[in-house]
Amino acid sequence: MIEILDRCDMNCPICLKNFDGGFEFSMKDFKRALGGVLKTERACQVVNFSGGEPTLHPLLKDFLRYASDNGVLQTTVSTNGLRLLAEPGLRRLFKETGAIAALQFDGFTRRAWEFMRGEPALLEKKLALIKLLEAEGVRYSLVATVAKGVNDGEIGKITDFFFRSRALTLMFQPLSFTGRASALDAEKLRLTIPDIVRETRKSSFIGKDDFNPLPCSHYSCFALAYYLAAEKGQYINLRDFLGREFYLDVITNKTLPGLDSSAYGAIKQRIYELWSAADSSSSDQAVLKRIKEILRAIERDGFSPERALNTGMGSMKAVFIHSFMDAHTMDFGRLVKCCNPYAQADGRLVPMCAQNVFRQK
């Protein structure tokens, strides 16, 4: 995660941030921030651009291209979508660079949008933008901030909408009480990961036990579920299909599984084991056939992480739940396990919730 500026064209009441001084990354700042990640991790599959509203930064194009040139496989840009809706050139930039628009999408009621963003009529703009992104082939994901008694009753509907759309992933973020949101009633509005998991089960696409913690982080921070598109409109939980132990091993310490040759080889071997063991009359045969088609596409001109990523994104969906800490829930043990740090302009990495709680007003 790299915060590239603090400016924004909205004034959301639930914003995690409340910046106490203006900043805007220079190219030198960005290079040092990404360099700090690469020095620590040796490789970086995913970088998220945050802020503020990142699409307001005049160097966004240069940042996206520099990240790609330095081995970052996937860039995502957290955005309210207003500039993307208004500016065709910005949408072209996202398409040309392969950047994913991580679009705020908090539900379907005017009340939810008014409470979360201070603008009750935003839904129409979001739906119009999604229509444009899909028509123009711009990749996007959905990010829903959810609060008890505000839009938690819409979690199932948001999930259904996600699976029927072309969005790549869906992220639920229970409202965290830092920044501007620290003025809100935490006791009244707080949701937990189990609360959200229960609500997702109201979706026809989610099974009872689909979610598990992300192994690299603390179990109270992150839950996720991956799904394979087996047939049109039908999705199979990847953990259930591959087997729990194998699945957890593959996703351990990885944001995106199967993008290095060893992990990909292990997945391929597991698929062929399942193929050999499957009953010829089983419905699993159709799923295995679909996976074999995906493997062929990945290997068409020899394996590469880029091809694996692009092929996988066209064949899978994922639902994430990311629970941020605030002053009420701060836990040092969770900070130590953080695998979603903010990269600083001086090359340091700061745990996300430490920055949100201790490094702003």
What is the arithmetic mean of pLDDT over 200-216? 92
Rg of the chain over CA atoms, in angstroms? 20
Give residue 51's pLDDT. Answer: 92
pLDDT at 21 over 70: no
Contact 173, 192 (CB under 8 A): no
Structure confidence at residue 173 (pLDDT): 98
Question: In this structure, is residue 246 part of a structural domain?
Answer: no
Q: What is the pLDDT of residue 35?
A: 95
pLDDT at residue 311, rounded to an integer = 74
Task: Say if residue 198's pLDDT is above 90.
Answer: yes
Decide if pLDDT at 308 tops 70: yes
Q: Quick one: DSSP state of residue 359?
A: S
pTM over 0.85: yes
Residue 361 token pair: 């007003």
- Does a structural domain hold residue 293? no
Residues 6+ apart with CB under 8 A from 148: 188, 189, 190, 191, 195
User: Which residues neighbour 153 within 8 Å (Cβ) at sequence distance 6 or greater?
Assistant: 199
Question: Considering the domain boundaries, does residue 313 fall inside one?
Answer: no
Q: Measure the CA–CA gap between 220 and 105, rounded to whole angstroms.
A: 23
- At 345 the pLDDT is 95
Q: Which has more confidence, 278 or 307?
A: 307
Residue 182 confidence (pLDDT) = 95
Which of these ranges, 170-174, 244-248, 314-318, 345-349, has the smallest mean pLDDT? 244-248
For the segment 104-147, what is each residue's pLDDT rounded down to a tens digit? 999 999 999 999 999 999 999 999 999 999 999 999 999 999 99
**pLDDT, average across residues 159-183:** 97
DSSP designation for 118: S
Give pLDDT tens digits for 245-302.
877 777 766 656 666 667 677 777 777 676 666 554 455 667 777 777 877 887 777 7
Q: pLDDT exceeding 90 applies to what percent of the chain?
A: 68
> For residue range 141-164, what is the model confidence (pLDDT) as tens digits?
999 999 999 999 999 999 999 999
Retrieve residue 249's tokens: 């091993």
Instruction: With respect to residue 238, please indicate whether it lies within any of the assigned structural domains.
Output: no
CATH number for 329: 3.20.20.70
For all residues of the chain together, what is the average pLDDT? 90
Instruction: Give the model's pLDDT for residue 280.
Output: 47
Burial label, 103 (beta-carbon count in 10 A; 0-12, 13-18, 19+)? buried
Q: How far apart are CA 301 and CA 116, in angstroms?
A: 47
8 Å CB contact between 154 and 112: yes
Task: Give me the pLDDT at residue 147, please.
Answer: 99
In 3-state terms, what secondary structure has residue 234? Answer: strand
Average pLDDT, integer, range 207-229: 90
Query: According to the model, what pLDDT value does residue 174 have?
Result: 98
Residue 91 reports pLDDT greater than 60: yes
Residue 12 within a domain: yes
Q: How many helices (H) and strands (E) does the chain have?
A: 16, 12
Q: Bigger pLDDT: 327 or 293?
A: 327
Structural domain boundaries enclosing 45: 2-221+323-358
- Burial class of 312 by CB neighbour count within 10 A (0 to 12, 13 to 18, 19+): buried
Whether 291 is in a domain gets the answer no
Q: Within 10 A of 283 (CB to CB), how many other CB atoms are there?
A: 11
Per-residue pLDDT, 277? 62
The total number of structural domains that make up the chain: 1
In a domain, 251, yes or no: no
Query: Is residue 30 assigned to a domain?
Result: yes
Opening angle at CA 15, ends 13 and 19, nearest 5:
110
